[in-house]
Chains A and B, each alone.
Chain A
Amino acid sequence: MMQAFLDIFDIYLLETVINGILFGGVLALLALGLNLIFGVIDVTWICYAELVMIGMYGMYYLVTIYGVPYWAAAPMCILLVAGMGALLHFLVIEPLLSSPPVNQLLATGGVLFFLQSLATVAFGVEFHNIGIQLPVLRLGEMNFSYARLLSFAAALIGMVAVYVFMRRTYVGTAIRAIAQDRQIMVLMGVDTRRIYLITSALGGALAGLAACLLVLLYDVHPFIGLSIGPITFLICVLGGLGNFIGGFVAAFVFAEIISLGGMFSDLEWGYVLAFGFFIVMMFIRPAGLLSRRS
Chain B
Amino acid sequence: MNRRQLAIAIAGAVLIALPFVHRDPYHLHILILILIWSFAYTSWSMMGRFGLVSLGHGGFMGAGAYVTALLWNHLGISPWLGIPLALAVSAALALVVGYPCFRFRITGHYFVLVTLALSGIVLQIITAARDWTGGSLGYTPERTKGSVLVALQFEDKTTWYLIALAVWAGGLLIWRWVDGSMDRYALEAISEDEDAAAAAGVNVTYEKLKITVLSAVMTAFSGALYCQYQMFISPDTVSGISVSLQMVFAAIVGGLYVALGPTVGAIITILMAEGLRIGLGTKAVGWDNLIYGLLLVLFIIFLPKGVLGSILARIKARR
Contacts and interface: CB of A to CB of B under 8 A. Distances in A.
B252 A237 contact: no
A241 B110 contact: yes
Interface in A38-84: 38, 44, 46
Nearest to B127: A268
Contacts, number: 147
A272 to B, nearest CB: 5
Contact of B292 (A107, A113, A236, A287): A113
A266 interface: yes
Given A226-B241, A233-B117, A237-B114, A44 B109 contact: yes
A114 B290 contact: yes
Interface string B88-125: 00000000110011001110111011101101110011
Interface residues of B, number: 47
B171 interface: no
A121 interface: yes
Interface stretch (A5-13, A93-101, A149-157, A183-191): A93-101
A272 B128 contact: yes
Interface of B is mostly: helix
Interface string B46-74: 00000101010000000000000000000
A45 to B, nearest CB: 11
B297 interface: yes
Interface residues of A, number: 50
Nearest to B93: A279
Contact of B285 (A95, A120, A266): A120
Interface stretch (B175-183, B202-210, B242-250): B242-250
Contacts of B119: 230
Given A92-B301, A113-B292, 10 more contacts: A99-B300, A117-B290, A117-B292, A121-B285, A125-B285, A230-B116, A231-B120, A234-B120, A272-B125, A279-B100
Interface of B: 51, 53, 55, 96-97, 100-101, 104-106, 108-110, 112-114, 116-117, 119-121, 124-125, 127-128, 240-242, 245, 248-249, 252, 285-290, 292-297, 300-301, 304
Interface of A: 38, 44, 46, 92, 95-96, 99-103, 105-107, 109-118, 120-121, 125, 222, 226, 229-231, 233-234, 236-237, 241, 266, 268-269, 271-272, 275-276, 278-279, 282-283, 286-287
